[in-house]
Amino acid sequence: MDFDNQIFTDPPKEPVNRAELLHRIAAAGSSDKLNLGNTDLAGEDLSGLNLRGINLYNADLRETNLRHANLSRASLIDANLSYADLSHADLSHANLQGAFMQEADLSHANLTGADLREATLTNADLTNANLTGARLQPPSTIENTERETEF
């Protein structure tokens, strides 16, 4: 097979809205049994939802409202959370390795024990976020963020 001059791209992400997400959670019995990796939830209002333990690997969550959402123990590896509102969200023990969170609002978020290795937090708002026990080893990118956080 000749692969010269071929461009390989990721397959398109499956679009999912709030109603479909709630339907899938109900069908699964709980969010911790739900695999929504590689889905497109960009711009959705998911505020206040219990998404504990959900798999959102490589999901597109740009500009998504996740304010007051429970994402504890969720897998958000390589997820795009740029410009997302995660204020007051529970991200305790969430896996955010490689997540892209440029300009995300993480103010008052609970990131206790979260894995943020290789995450990009450029211009993210971490005002009053709790990062106790969070893993932030390089090469995490944390530039120009609000620094009033609890470690």
Going residue by residue through the chain, which has 151 residues, state the pLDDT in tens, using 9 for 90 and above: 555 555 556 678 999 999 999 999 999 999 998 999 999 999 999 999 999 999 999 999 999 999 999 999 999 999 999 999 999 999 999 999 999 999 999 999 999 999 999 999 999 999 999 999 999 876 555 555 555 444 4
- What confidence score (pLDDT) does residue 145 get? 56
b/e 107-125 (16+ beta carbons within 10 angstroms → b):
bbbbbbbbbbbbbbbebbb
- What confidence score (pLDDT) does residue 72 get? 98
- What confidence score (pLDDT) does residue 12 get? 82
Of all helices (H) and strands (E), which one includes residue 27?
helix 18-28
Cβ(144)–Cβ(122) below 8 Å: yes
Q: Which two tokens stand for residue 109?
A: 């978020």
- What confidence score (pLDDT) does residue 2 get? 53
The C-alpha atoms of residue 146 and residue 57 are separated, in whole angstroms, by 26
Nearest alpha-carbon partner for 89 in 110, 104, 73: 110
pTM for this entry: 0.86
- What confidence score (pLDDT) does residue 150 get? 46
Block residue for tokens 């894995």: 115
- What confidence score (pLDDT) does residue 148 get? 47
Cβ(68)–Cβ(88) below 8 Å: yes
